[in-house]
């Protein structure tokens, strides 16, 4: 670190301009990434449901429609006037660029299942070409056909249409969030730093990290599906971490200048101390975020990519661009002061007094804080996990309105039946299986090569209609249901269907409900590995930083306590429906998105470790200087408390701006992370950490002799 600092100081202009030039060049491609990103990514590619979709394509040549259009006719759908409207609509849909095939109630033999219960609305199914961006075609169809059409009322639903709505809404919401977060952040930075020049440095680090990350997202999108939601994490985390690291570095630079060091020596000392903490804490955050890559869904993998990249670039900005700027600016970093003077370093003040107050009565304060956090945790006793569907959009969104028409006016979810494939089954086996399947609650009918089964009775007269359901050695069975497929009810239905056996055969389940169920199972299966990765590396890295066994264990336990309280708060808001007056209206589905909850847990765990290391580095510095644990904690908190609080507030502003989004999971992501950050910077750092360190005393720094020997050789704080 010392050699690196001296190199940056010697080549300060070259280091700064080269770093900025590389980022700006990468932005040429980076800003093109937005049009390549997708709004999906919740499905498990390793589940049976994915295999079923592949077999349907290869063995049955089925084509799953990406766009579903509902036509609400002025008269009954079987009248001549309605048929004429349907014919015109079919031809116009076929003419849309990117559309491969269109089918409808009229081209499929007018099956009753494709009529609404009142007989006036019917389905049109659009298959999009494989070599085009589906969401763009979905938007094209939605823009052109939603609304009045020759006397009929058209509604556009389906995955491509929902993706288009989410993409458009997210892009607009991101711009709105930034327009709120950036001015508020600047005001807060000016107040914290006390000068306009110093306040601009965090924006430099954060801005470079964000723009540079876009390039890597663009590269990823060239080779694999990448989620548009990763952009939100990059923006919030890049701005927040850039500010965190700049706060730490600038504050330390001022301290070194107060001690009489020259500008260059002060920069070198800053990199050696605060820069080392930035490097280590950033590596810890990056490793924690990398755990998201274990999950099979590309939604979470995209966050792993975006999170790791933006953290690495934030570190690079803090250790290249920022020291170079400090060396160039020198004391001009304090130019254009706001207020009488720039705050100077002091060993006594509000945070030090708070720490000493807590350490005089550590047991009672620790108990009160833990009980309070436990109370928040209890709010999550009714938490249920679900998955994203159209209802994450505003209730007046045209995709939501279209899906509500399907929910309210059709007896079954015709566009999303349960698809079942069985290899080598005889027709008698299929018949018995279909009959048993039709007895399940919420199953409207079961259609197969044996006929149509309803309520335990099969009509084999329909068998010729479904003769194509037996092909290439496979039997295809469809179960039309009336539940929301991407919901707890959809998962329960899938579980009940999988309990029904076909002697000698193993049915494979596909369709939207099974895809949802497999996705949930994929997350649950990976959780132990993710938890082991995060906790294992956190304990190891914190030991190498502190030389203690106790401090890493305590940090992990406090983070888990904080996460539990955050989950309780999220449940209270998004399941119980509180704070709508503040957050704006959102659809209460009775569950929270599993992927988003996992994301909040991983991101907040990483950021909590960031603040833990900021604090421990200062406490450890004082302890190694010979001070007692009590004095070390008091002085360490005094010197870092203001920085941690300011960093937490700024980061909270960065994420809480997402609460203005009209997409529910963005609200949850912003509110959840902001709440966890503020909880961590106040209750955890200001109360529980001092209380527990006072209770443990010198035991805080304990480790077995053999581990101490390892620390002395390879400790990352040396």
Structure tokens given for 160? 């491509």
Question: For residue 98, how many other CB atoms are within 10 A of its CB?
Answer: 18
Residue 531 pLDDT level (bands cut at 50, 70, 90): very high
Number of domains in the chain: 3
* 506 and 542 part of one domain: no
Radius of gyration of the chain (CA): 29
Structure tokens given for 532? 């082991």
Q: Which of 151, 77, 145 is nearest to 117 (CA)?
A: 77
Structure tokens given for 87? 């014919």
* 448 and 378 part of one domain: no
Q: Would the pLDDT of 429 be above 80?
A: yes
User: Above pLDDT 70, what percent of the chain?
Assistant: 97
Q: Would the pLDDT of 707 be above 80?
A: yes
pLDDT at 718: 52
Q: Which residues contact 239 (CB under 8 A, 6 or more apart)?
A: 181, 182, 185, 203, 206, 207, 210, 650, 651, 654
Q: Which of 319, 316, 311 is nearest to 233 (CA)?
A: 311
pLDDT tens-digit map of 124-155: 999 888 777 777 888 899 999 999 999 999 99
CA 670 to chain CA centroid, Å, is 10
pLDDT at 365: 94
Q: Which of 130, 150, 138, 131 is nearest to 88 (CA)?
A: 150
Q: Is residue 183 part of a domain?
A: yes
pLDDT tens-digit map of 82-124: 999 999 999 999 999 988 889 998 988 887 778 888 999 999 9
Q: Which of 458, 420, 422 is nearest to 439 (CA)?
A: 458
Q: Is residue 651 part of a domain?
A: yes
Q: Is residue 44 part of a domain?
A: no
Q: To which residue do tokens 């809480």 refer?
A: 656
Residue 462 belongs to what domain range?
Answer: 417-510
Query: What residues form DSSP beta bridges with 510?
Result: 419
* 208 and 259 part of one domain: yes
User: Above pLDDT 90, what percent of the chain?
Assistant: 32
Q: Is residue 406 part of a domain?
A: no
* 527 and 464 part of one domain: no
* 504 and 363 part of one domain: no
Q: Which of 214, 197, 352, 203 is nearest to 650 (CA)?
A: 203
Query: Largest Cα–Cα distance of the chain, in whole Å?
Result: 96
Burial degree of 454 (CB within 10 A; 0-12, 13-18, 19+) = middle
pLDDT tens-digit map of 254-305: 888 888 899 999 999 999 988 888 898 889 889 999 999 999 988 889 989 9
Structure tokens given for 84? 């004429």
pLDDT at 544: 87
Q: Which residues contact 286 (CB under 8 A, 6 or more apart)?
A: 307, 308, 311, 312, 606
* 176 and 210 part of one domain: yes
Q: Would the pLDDT of 715 be above 70?
A: no
Q: Is residue 597 part of a domain?
A: yes
* 87 and 227 part of one domain: no
For helices 230-258 and 276-290, angle between their N-to-C axes, nearest 10 degrees? 160
Of the three residues 510, 543, 572, the one that is the final residue of a domain is 510
Structure tokens given for 57? 């394509």
Check: CB of residue 355 under 8 Å from CB of residue 39: no
* 449 and 564 part of one domain: no
Q: Is residue 404 part of a domain?
A: no
pTM of the prediction?
Answer: 0.80
Q: What distance in Å separates the CA atoms of residue 155 and residue 122, rounded to the nearest whole number?
A: 10
Of the three residues 88, 122, 157, the one that is the final residue of a domain is 157
Q: What distance in Å separates the CA atoms of residue 639 and residue 644, rounded to the nearest whole number?
A: 9
Q: Is residue 401 part of a domain?
A: no
Going by their DSSP bridges, the two strands 508-510 and 451-454 should be labelled as unpaired
pLDDT averaged over the chain? 86
pLDDT at 622: 86
Q: Is residue 285 part of a domain?
A: yes
- Does the CA dihedral 566-567-570-571 come out positive or negative? negative
Check: CB of residue 161 under 8 Å from CB of residue 142: yes
Residue 698 pLDDT level (bands cut at 50, 70, 90): confident
Q: Which of 71, 131, 79 is nearest to 100 (CA)?
A: 131
* 153 and 168 part of one domain: no
Structure tokens given for 368? 């009160």
Query: What residues form DSSP beta bridges with 319?
Result: none
CATH number of the structural domain spanning residue 424? 3.30.70
Of the three residues 510, 527, 548, the one that is the final residue of a domain is 510
Q: What distance in Å separates the CA atoms of residue 497 and residue 420, rounded to the nearest whole number?
A: 10
Tell me the backbone φ, ψ of residue 578, rounded to 5 degrees.
Answer: -85, 165
CA 510 to chain CA centroid, Å, is 26
Query: What residues form DSSP beta bridges with 496?
Result: none
* 173 and 28 part of one domain: yes
Burial degree of 486 (CB within 10 A; 0-12, 13-18, 19+) = buried
pLDDT at 412: 65
Query: What residues form DSSP beta bridges with 419?
Result: 478, 510
pLDDT tens-digit map of 312-356: 999 999 999 999 999 999 888 888 777 655 555 556 677 888 889
* 593 and 708 part of one domain: yes
Q: Highest mean pLDDT range out of 390-394, 576-580, 646-650? A: 576-580
pLDDT tens-digit map of 33-44: 877 777 677 788
pLDDT at 201: 87
CATH number of the structural domain spanning residue 144? 3.30.70.1320
* 441 and 377 part of one domain: no
pLDDT at 344: 53
Q: Which residues contact 77 (CB under 8 A, 6 or more apart)?
A: 71, 86, 105, 110, 115, 119, 120, 121, 122
Q: What distance in Å separates the CA atoms of residue 249 and residue 257, rounded to the nearest whole number?
A: 12
Q: In Å, what is the CA distance from 506 to each residue of 424, 429, 434, 435, 500?
A: 10, 12, 14, 17, 10
Q: In Å, what is the CA distance from 151 to each residue of 84, 89, 187, 397, 446?
A: 11, 12, 54, 22, 35
């Amino acid at each position: 670190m010392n050699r690196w600092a001296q190199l940056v100081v010697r080549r300060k202009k070259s280091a700064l301009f080269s770093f900025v030039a590389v980022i700006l060049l990468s932005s040429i491609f980076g800003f093109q990434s937005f049009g390549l990103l997708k709004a999906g990514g919740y499905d498990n590619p390793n589940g049976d449901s994915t295999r079923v979709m592949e077999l349907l394509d290869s063995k049955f040549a089925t084509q799953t429609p990406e766009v579903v259009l509902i036509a609400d006719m002025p008269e009954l759908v079987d009248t001549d006037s309605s048929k004429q409207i349907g014919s015109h609509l079919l031809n116009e849909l076929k003419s849309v660029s990117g559309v491969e095939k269109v089918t409808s109630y009229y081209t499929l033999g007018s099956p009753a299942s494709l009529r609404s219960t009142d007989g006036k609305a019917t389905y049109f199914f659009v298959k999009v070409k494989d070599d085009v961006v589906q969401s763009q075609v979905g938007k094209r169809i939605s823009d052109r056909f939603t609304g009045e059409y020759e006397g009929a009322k058209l509604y556009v639903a389906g995955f491509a249409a929902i993706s288009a709505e989410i993409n458009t809404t997210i892009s607009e919401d991101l711009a709105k969030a930034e327009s709120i977060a950036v001015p508020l952040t600047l005001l807060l930075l000016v107040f914290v730093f006390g000068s306009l020049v110093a306040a601009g440095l965090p924006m430099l680090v954060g801005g470079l990290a964000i723009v540079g990350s876009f390039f890597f997202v663009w590269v990823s999108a060239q080779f694999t599906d990448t989620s548009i939601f990763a952009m939100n994490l990059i923006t919030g985390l890049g701005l927040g971490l850039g500010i965190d690291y700049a706060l730490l570095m600038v504050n330390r630079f001022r301290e070194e200048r107060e001690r009489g060091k020259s500008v260059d020596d002060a920069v070198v000392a800053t990199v050696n101390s605060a820069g080392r903490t930035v490097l280590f804490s950033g590596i810890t955050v990056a490793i924690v975020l990398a755990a998201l890559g274990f999950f099979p869904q590309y939604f979470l993998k995209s966050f792993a990519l975006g999170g790791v990249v933006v953290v690495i670039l934030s570190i690079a900005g803090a250790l290249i661009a920022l020291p170079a700027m400090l060396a160039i600016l020198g004391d001009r970093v304090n130019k254009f002061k706001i207020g009488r003077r720039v705050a100077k370093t002091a060993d006594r003040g509000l945070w030090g007094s708070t720490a000493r107050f807590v350490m005089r009565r550590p047991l009672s304060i620790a108990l009160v804080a833990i009980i309070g956090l436990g109370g928040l945790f209890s709010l999550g006793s009714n938490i249920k996990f679900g998955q994203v569907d159209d209802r994450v959009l505003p209730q007046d969104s045209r995709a939501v309105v279209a899906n509500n028409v399907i929910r309210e006016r059709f007896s079954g979810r015709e566009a999303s039946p349960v698809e079942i494939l069985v290899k080598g089954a005889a027709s008698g086996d299929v018949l018995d299986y279909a009959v048993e399947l039709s007895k399940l609650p919420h199953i409207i009918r079961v259609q197969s090569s044996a006929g149509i089964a309803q309520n335990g009775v099969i009509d084999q007269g329909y068998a010729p209609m479904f003769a194509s359901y037996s092909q290439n050695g496979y039997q295809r069975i469809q179960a039309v249901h009336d539940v929301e497929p991407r919901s707890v009810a959809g998962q329960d239905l899938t579980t009940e269907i999988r309990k029904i056996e076909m002697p000698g055969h193993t049915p494979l389940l596909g369709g939207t409900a099974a895809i949802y169920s497999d996705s949930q199972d994929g997350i649950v299966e990976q959780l132990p590995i993710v938890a082991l990765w995060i906790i294992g590396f956190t304990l190891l890295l914190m030991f190498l930083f502190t030389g203690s066994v106790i401090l890493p264990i305590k940090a992990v336990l406090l983070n888990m306590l904080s996460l539990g309280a955050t989950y309780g708060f999220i449940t209270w808001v998004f399941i119980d429906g509180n704070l709508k007056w503040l957050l704006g209206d959102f659809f209460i589905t009775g569950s929270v998105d599993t992927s988003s909850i996992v994301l909040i847990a991983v991101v907040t765990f990483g950021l909590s470790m960031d603040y833990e290391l900021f604090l421990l580095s200062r406490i450890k510095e004082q302890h190694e200087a010979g001070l007692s644990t009590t004095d070390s904690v008091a002085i360490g908190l005094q010197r870092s408390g203001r920085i941690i609080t300011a960093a937490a507030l700024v980061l909270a502003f960065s994420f809480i701006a997402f609460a203005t989004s009209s997409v529910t999971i963005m609200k949850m992501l912003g509110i959840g992370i902001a709440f966890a950050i503020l909880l961590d910077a106040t209750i955890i750092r200001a109360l529980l950490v001092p209380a527990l360190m006072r209770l443990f005393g010198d035991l805080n720094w304990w480790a077995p002799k053999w581990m101490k020997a390892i620390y002395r050789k390879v400790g990352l704080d040396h």
